[in-house]
A and B are shown apart, each in its own frame.
Chain A
């Protein structure tokens, strides 16, 4: 199968000649898993329906062929009316369709967006730090976001409506601090990671300290849900919040794949090939932060996805970042959607944060990788 791809490379279509059979199968299997997980998600719940009913509801032509309904979901009713100039009332939906489209489907979509963002973000950070153990949170992002969340919930509770944006901003600020500390006539992967660890430790202490000032169990639970990552209660608003930055981050990551590949050749080689290493590293980190922020803003800090997924994909399709980034775009959502099935349905009616499931699945898988691979750590 690799042979076919190579022959193709020497021939015509060069735009996609890096696509090989393995990558295509990885993507197809992932899509299958997302569809399966998504169907389970939309059929089970307080209003239970059969898989067939659920399938029909997802593909309900009333929604799919009505741009008003689609826009209503994806951009919100207000914007839909402005865009289309539509003044009437929307067609009535059957109950199953309403339940599926209004309540259950957005959660699946948010899972897809979060999974893709975290996986791509992790893949970028692994190239930037040239460390396979890097995750979207390695450069202080999770602790920055966590601290911002706690500060908002405990100290500045008036700002709670802006929590998603504040969390994402906290992550970005922490990243800038880390970069500033690591900068000494330029940065190096090792200094970046070390600065990340130090900043994380400090922010984590502050964050834990703030828990003591929470005077309300609900606040603590909300804080825990945010800091472990949860998709409970997400709806179309979260889809709308994450979609634009996800699209942008993903497009930039795909475009930046070649830069990432050259970065993997080492700083010196990259520079002798004419790359402005510092600028490229910073901009790519920015893309990764954008992706991670989009995920944090809607789901909180979901662990392990950004670490595990690039790993799995690298084992399957190799370390060429064109293939790796695309693979991550599919495998990330698959893992996230399946983990959320577990989070929502395993302990029903109690829902657990999805971050707990990804941790429980990701941790052991990572240990397995560690024992199997001799040279873990080198990209």
Chain B
């Protein structure tokens, strides 16, 4: 996406936020109040959040700012107390479970699987929403799985059992599984946390390719704000369960944001990649 296009989208979404009908957003959270049964106060109170269609949007914010909770609500895993989530303009609770899973894929922060299944078997599970109860694996399933394995770059691992993989390889295998789900929207919850640099880049590049080649809308929770600024088309900065700022990285990642949201005094420069250098130790 070119810079001017961004501006256009930005304007269109701004218009949509003002109530004018628009389909620039694949996913919209409207007037959301989110809480868990164990918490007294709402974790997230957010008037409006847009995930622009065909772009990579990064959700950033300090620990406990409600990023993952928001992602759960957007992916229909958590029912909001108030407000609603719209996918392609239709409320998510109106979708049938499998139908929804064909439109939107989610990779959670922590994934567990039996250690003895192979990577290929894991990836085939991604086809679950596309298959009826009695349906066997079909040609479309094979193609989707092959494509996902190729895109995630786990071809050399396909015969390995998941239990024998390193953390980074495991994450790529799981990403291959959500890719096999073949959705137009993909939500990822901290996919790079705990990974070494090599695997972090592999994961983010996979996401980027998916976005570029297949036009998949991506929303990803990231811890590393520099990484977010580098890979994402849009940033949503959250603070205490509210949207602090929203827009292209260059507009959002400012020294003011770092000070307000992350409580870090740092210098921000673009060379052209964003660089964030703390001014002094905490």
Which residues of A come within 8 Å of B, CB atoms?
A: 6, 14-15, 185, 255, 258, 261-262, 264-266, 268-269, 271-276, 314, 318-320, 378-379
Contact = CB atoms under 8 A, between A and B. Distances in A.
Interface stretch (B52-60, B107-115, B266-274): B107-115
Nearest to A9: B120
B108 A269 contact: yes
Contacts of A255: 133-134
Contacts of A268: 77, 108
Contacts of B120: 6
B102 interface: yes
10 contacts: A266-B111, A268-B77, A268-B108, A269-B111, A269-B113, A272-B75, A273-B125, A273-B126, A273-B128, A275-B97
Given A266-B111, A268-B108, A320-B117, A274 B77 contact: no
Interface size class of B (residues with CB under 8 A): 20 to 34
B116 A273 contact: no
B14 interface: no
Contacts of B136: 14-15
Given A266-B111, A318-B116, A379-B114, A274 B137 contact: no
Contact of A274 (B100, B116, B121): B100
Q: Is the interface of A mostly helix, strand, loop or mixed?
A: loop
B113 A274 contact: no
B90 interface: no
Contacts of B100: 274
Given A269-B108, A319-B116, A319-B117, A276 B97 contact: yes
B117 A273 contact: no
Contacts of B97: 271, 274-276
Contacts of B108: 268-269, 272
Of B105, B111, B125, which is in contact with the most chain A CB atoms at under 10 Å from its CB?
B125
Contacts of A320: 116-117, 121
B41 interface: no
Contacts of A261: 117, 125
B106 interface: yes
Given A6-B120, A255-B133, A272-B77, 18 more contacts: A6-B159, A262-B128, A265-B113, A271-B97, A272-B107, A272-B108, A273-B129, A273-B181, A274-B97, A274-B99, A274-B100, A274-B101, A274-B129, A275-B98, A276-B97, A314-B116, A320-B117, A320-B121
A185 B37 contact: yes
Nearest to A268: B108
B101 A273 contact: yes
A314 B106 CA distance: 29
A28 B137 CA distance: 27
